[in-house]
Amino acid sequence: MFRRRIQKFAANLTNSSKHPFLWYSTRSSSAVLFQKLKKSERKPLVTSINELKRTARLRAKAKQNVEENSLQPPANGLPVKGLVPIAHEVYAARSELFSCISTVIKRSIVHSCRVCGEVHIGHPPHKIRTCNVAGSAPNKEHTWEIGGIQHVFPTVESFHLYDRIGRAVSHNEQLQVDRIPAVVELCIQAGVDIPEYPTRRRTFPIYNVAGRTVDFEKRFPKKFTLEKGINSYGFWNDKKRVCADTLSINSDDLKETAIKGMELWDKMISGTEKLMKTYGVQTCGYCSEVQVGPKGHRVRNCQAYKHQMRDGQHAWQEATVDDLMPPVYVWHVQDVHSSEPLLNNLKRYYGVLPAVVELFAQAGANVGERYTSFMKKDVVVPELDEINLVV
């Protein structure tokens, strides 16, 4: 048995020699990815504080000069034409991805902890004692129950803006403005037109004079409706375009569906990253609130650390892809057919993956290089009686 495991370890080293930078030490515990920020800790800034101060000084200095400043898309209200096809791809990939997840999850078992919300994919659920929240058991063991797609792929919502460079949503308007998935709102602002959520498409740019925004275009009435003569898909309309909501996965092959879903996941992640480099997305530094647009809203519903000092307002900062699509990390199960659960004593030998990726990996999909280092493929999980022999 031990000789067979040594041969397996040598084979893994040979396979991983092609990508030596992906080696993952067993001494760096994967449990770090499961740790959440403390209530008093703020999310790390994407842009350094010194760079933010420098930008603020330049903005204040520009307001003193009474001159007209020409803005570039999308700051001038016009969409970036090069990103419109990417926005359509992300929107279509998200719709198809839901179909793939729904198909695969019917043949898999998803467990969710009733106390801390940790997720495990596969049966039996693991016995790693990481339930360390208020109300958990003294031994930190999880209380498992059957989960669903909302645990694997949670949805983060954002206020839908009719005019992305208009004024922010006030506190009194929070019940009058629709909340939609943040990724969908990002695609809408980047060029995707959805009749249920109309948005303003300018034909003339706005200007900035002494720090003030000047819009020479005639405003639409507040009660805006899409008439028959208005093209709801804008100047980039393609006659061959297919509505993403009508797409569905009809294949009965589970592995084929998982491979397709993995491709859609990578396409959605990479496309969202490209959109966020140009279209601003804001998140609260202390809670999970997200607002797609150049600035955050003014709704005072933050209940995080020291919200009384901010009168319930959010501490807005630049968001990342993880804020729009939170990565629900789960323990990676190398042997899907094994009936033995993952043990707490061997947790440093286990890898982790986002829940969506783990779901497709157990169905037979190949995980790309993005997550290879997370899986710990170069690590052979020893038996309990072999732990003392591991260096």
Give the SS3 label for residue 193. coil
Pairwise CA distance, residues 116 & 135, whole Å: 9
Instruction: Average the pLDDT over each of 53-62, 122-131, 259-268 and give the range with the smallest value.
Output: 53-62
Convert 215-260 into a string of H (helix), E (strand) and C (coil): CCCCCCCCCCCCCCCCCCCCCCCCCCCCCHHHCCCCCCCHHHHHHH
Give me the sign of the Cα torsion angle 351, 352, 355, 360: negative
The pLDDT tens digits for 185-196 are 999 999 999 999
Per-residue pLDDT at 383 = 73
> Across 18-22, 146-150, 230-234, 302-306, which has the greatest mean pLDDT?
146-150
Per-residue pLDDT at 3 = 47
Res. 206 pLDDT band, cuts 50 70 90: confident
Per-residue pLDDT at 233 = 39
* Res. 21: pLDDT tops 60: no
Directed axis angle between helix 355-362 and helix 84-105, to 10°? Answer: 60
Pairwise CA distance, residues 77 & 315, whole Å: 25
Predicted TM-score (pTM) of this structure: 0.81
Q: Which helix (H) or strand (E) holds 366?
A: none
For the segment 69-76, the average pLDDT, to the nearest whole number, is 83
With residues binned 3-state (H G I as helix, E B as strand, rest as coil), the percentages for the chain, rounded to 5, are 35, 10, 55
The pLDDT tens digits for 27-49 are 445 656 667 777 788 899 988 98
Per-residue pLDDT at 296 = 93
Torsion angle of C-alpha atoms 44, 45, 46, 47, degrees rounded to 10:
-150
Pairwise CA distance, residues 178 & 46, whole Å: 28
Q: Which helix (H) or strand (E) holds 145?
A: strand 144-146
Rg (CA), the chain: 24
